[in-house]
Structure 1
Amino acid sequence: MTEPPLFPDEQVATADERSVLATFLDYYRTEVVRKARGVSEQDARRRLVPSLTTIGGLVKHLTVVEESWFLRRMGARDDLPPRMPTEQEFTLSDDDTVESLIAAYEKQCALSREVASAHELDDNVPHHRLGRVSLRWIYVHMIEETARHAGHLDILREQIDGETG
């Protein structure tokens, strides 16, 4: 019997720490896009749980989270508008479409990779609650955040059209 090809996260089983962290985060970023792509505009806005959680809202929220941790914190960008309240991050405007949300997310992920590539894992920046956070911590936090929401997307997508995996 032939084994299936290795997933990206499996390909770095013996890689250095940075490669493992970056690969896991990129794997979940890809899953977010894969789960969001292909749903109708109506389904992207559909609330299937009591909270504001929707497929489109999750992608929009993850875009803001990427910007917040990589650009605002690690990139020390203070020229960005203030971060919106969390409930607004999950609220779609009339102009938001599945493809525009995905495009914004992919653009932000590319900017996040660029910022991260300019730093060492031990580089750290100020944080209002934690004192300081390292790039290593940001990677782990973003893996957790992105994986958690990829799981939410997986469940929503299964409820909408039966798509799994």
Structure 2
Amino acid sequence: MSEGVEWALHTCLNLTWIDDGAPVPAAALAAYFKLPPAYLNKQLQALVRAGIVSSVPGPRGGFQLARAPRDISVLDVVVAIEGAEEAFRCTEILRDAPDGEPEADYRATCVISQVMRKAELAWRRELAGRSLAEVKATVEAQVPGVAERTRRGLRNRRV
């Protein structure tokens, strides 16, 4: 998984704390974590295409959440950045094994393929079942004052 997923998740979380809904410039979002602005902007554009954030043009423009945090799952963000493809791709190498069967569907019968698919389904279910609102609530419970510090930090970095 690319570092863009981590960046996108933290950026979306920070946007949950902008309670006035005002757009935050990409440069301010990048500066908050000392990230390369051009690369973060690429992740933000992927989030826009996925309908997770919206982009507001102009001098007072920037990015804001496009949906309520309760309606954005962690999986939504991961898929927006990484794509929907499976992490494990069975290439059916068993066909070429000495006792392989050229006509067999090893994606369905290979035990390794089945184990990997089951693990990926569990991983996806967990991420799909965790909303940005839940992550926000957990962080706020573990780090009192984080919302105000983040708002203040982003406000000070707005261009």
- Taking structure 2 as the reference length, the TM-score comes to 0.29
Of structures 1 and 2, the larger Rg is shown by 2
